[in-house]
A = this chain, B = another copy of it.
Amino acid sequence: MPTLSEAGQALLLAKADDLRARYAAFCDRKLALDMTRGKPATDQLDLANAMLTCVDADAVRAAEGPDARNYGGVDGLPAVKALMADYLGVRAEQVVIGGNASLTLMHDCLVRALTHGVPGGAGPWFGQPVKWICPAPGYDRHFKILAHFGVEMITVDMGPDGPDMDAVEALVAKDAHIKGMWLVPRYSNPTGATCSDAVVQRLVRMPTAASDFRIFADDAYAEHHLVDSPTPRTNLLAAAEAAGTADRVLLFGSTSKISFAGAGICAFAGSAANVTWLTGHLSLQTIGPDKLNQLRHLVFFKDAAGIRAHMAKHAALLRPKFDTVLDCLEREISGIAEWTRPEGGYFISVDTPDGCAARTVALAARAGVKLTPAGATFPHDHDPNDRNIRLSPSLPPPAELAVAAELFAVCVQLAALERLERGRSPE
């Protein structure tokens, strides 16, 4: 929220004493709560406990194809490629299965582009300036990878339908050093936005000055709905194929927030050229990913319908937590802050009045509630408006979550009040 209305200002000033008293009371409770990361809670992990033991010696022998215990299969078990293809809305031959973290696949794909280049390009990206479009608010780990490799980040606004495409199109059309962009096409981290069909079509059809431009599409929340009838979405890779730009899209997904956060499987999907490129590089780096864990996923889920049915169980656990936070925000800070009401994903994105995010997080920390650091949702941890805060409702137990949400709402108001009282309205 850029500015605080006069009504909002009056409201805050009227309840200043009350806010301070409530904050002091929270501090007295010696809380130790954590809302920093999008971690599944124990009851969510328990949903997949049968996966722990579903592959025994008999299941290994019964499985089609090579012995899942032995070396080999750099691109994954064929049946698991089919499973993840169905899940991601692509074809099995477009899929490569990785280890337990799609972050690794994404990181390594950038490294390979830097050291060797990508199909359609003129060789390694190293040795030239490399720039990258970063829709923000976005995922902190995406930005940190770019910073680590010295890639220049160009921020564009992330709106409710996806990135600001006027800005994206203008940038990529004129600068051949812009080699790619991050994108979370569904239930974006942290805003929950899903790219509209119009945005998807513009992404795959826009002219790019770089012949080897890549969209790193982190489809981390493909089936992570919080509502029963989510807004349909357009598949990015299929749209790129239809537009004749299939090489542009690298799609990444994982079961981290489906089976076990630390022990899922991940998948890459791309064009034939990109699959050949990736498997060629992978064959230097590994003899193959863990096929036993692939087999566990296959036996447990059977097919993409099994994954979707499982995700409904997650939603049943997550929805009340999101409602707890959203109801609290509605009750406490309407007219003072703005926030998203996501149809899926793991986060609620809150915009405080400008200049109040860092102070809000500091106040919450002092009272024992850890939040994602202010600024983390922007490149270089710098939110130019000091406005955005990512809330992660998934991990805390419901009772603790209600306390943490209320404290957060008090801290937002207190931060805004402090600015008011310092004689200047929050900008």
Identify the A interface with B (CB < 8 A): 37, 39-40, 42, 45-46, 48-49, 52-53, 55-57, 60, 67-73, 99-101, 103-104, 107-108, 111, 114-115, 126-127, 141, 144-145, 148-149, 256, 260-263, 281, 284-293
Chain B residues with CB under 8 Å of A149's CB are 115
Verify A100–B103 contact, CB threshold 8 A: no
Verify A290–B49 contact, CB threshold 8 A: no
Asked whether A103 and B262 contact (CB < 8 A) given A52-B55, A53-B56, A71-B37, the answer is no
Verify A286–B103 contact, CB threshold 8 A: yes
Verify B57–A69 contact, CB threshold 8 A: no
Chain B residues with CB under 8 Å of A288's CB are 101, 262
15 sample A-B contacts, Cβ–Cβ < 8 Å, listed by A number: A39-B71, A45-B67, A52-B292, A53-B53, A53-B55, A99-B100, A99-B290, A101-B288, A107-B285, A126-B126, A261-B287, A262-B287, A262-B288, A262-B290, A263-B290
Chain B residues with CB under 8 Å of A100's CB are 99, 286, 289-290
Q: Which 7 A-B pairs have the closest CB atoms?
A: A263-B292, A69-B260, A49-B57, A53-B53, A107-B285, A71-B261, A45-B69
Q: How many copies does the complex hold?
A: 2
Q: Closest approach, in angstroms, between the C-beta of A208 and any C-beta of chain B?
A: 25
Chain B residues with CB under 8 Å of A148's CB are 281, 284
Verify A101–B287 contact, CB threshold 8 A: yes
Verify B46–A262 contact, CB threshold 8 A: no
Select from chain B the residue with minimum beta-carbon distance to A263: B292
Q: Closest approach, in angstroms, between the C-beta of A373 and any C-beta of chain B?
A: 15
Verify A262–B73 contact, CB threshold 8 A: yes
Chain B residues with CB under 8 Å of A104's CB are 285-286
Verify B52–A46 contact, CB threshold 8 A: no
Chain B residues with CB under 8 Å of A292's CB are 52, 260, 262-263
The listed residue with most B CB atoms (<10 A of its CB), out of A69, A284, A293, is A69
Could you tell me the distance between the alpha carbons of A224 and B228 in the complex, rounded to whole angstroms? 55
Verify A284–B45 contact, CB threshold 8 A: no
Q: Closest approach, in angstroms, between the C-beta of A355 and any C-beta of chain B?
A: 30
Could you tell me the distance between the alpha carbons of A55 and B262 in the complex, rounded to whole angstroms? 15
Could you tell me the distance between the alpha carbons of A149 and B68 in the complex, rounded to whole angstroms? 30
Verify A286–B101 contact, CB threshold 8 A: yes
Select from chain B the residue with minimum beta-carbon distance to A102: B286
Q: Closest approach, in angstroms, between the C-beta of A142 and any C-beta of chain B?
A: 11
Verify B67–A263 contact, CB threshold 8 A: no
Verify A256–B290 contact, CB threshold 8 A: no
Among B39, B56, B57, B103, the residue within 8 A (CB) of A70 is B39
Chain B residues with CB under 8 Å of A101's CB are 285-288
Q: Closest approach, in angstroms, between the C-beta of A407 and any C-beta of chain B?
A: 24
Among B71, B114, B293, the residue within 8 A (CB) of A290 is B293
Could you tell me the distance between the alpha carbons of A72 and B36 in the complex, rounded to whole angstroms? 13
Select from chain B the residue with minimum beta-carbon distance to A59: B52
Chain B residues with CB under 8 Å of A69's CB are 45, 48, 260-263
Chain B residues with CB under 8 Å of A68's CB are 262-263
Q: Closest approach, in angstroms, between the C-beta of A96 and any C-beta of chain B?
A: 15
* Contacts A100-B286, A148-B284 supplied; 10 other A-B pairs, CB < 8 Å: A49-B57, A103-B285, A104-B286, A107-B286, A126-B126, A260-B292, A261-B287, A262-B287, A262-B292, A290-B290
Chain B residues with CB under 8 Å of A115's CB are 111, 114-115, 126, 149
Asked whether A262 and B40 contact (CB < 8 A) given A99-B290, A104-B286, A144-B284, the answer is no
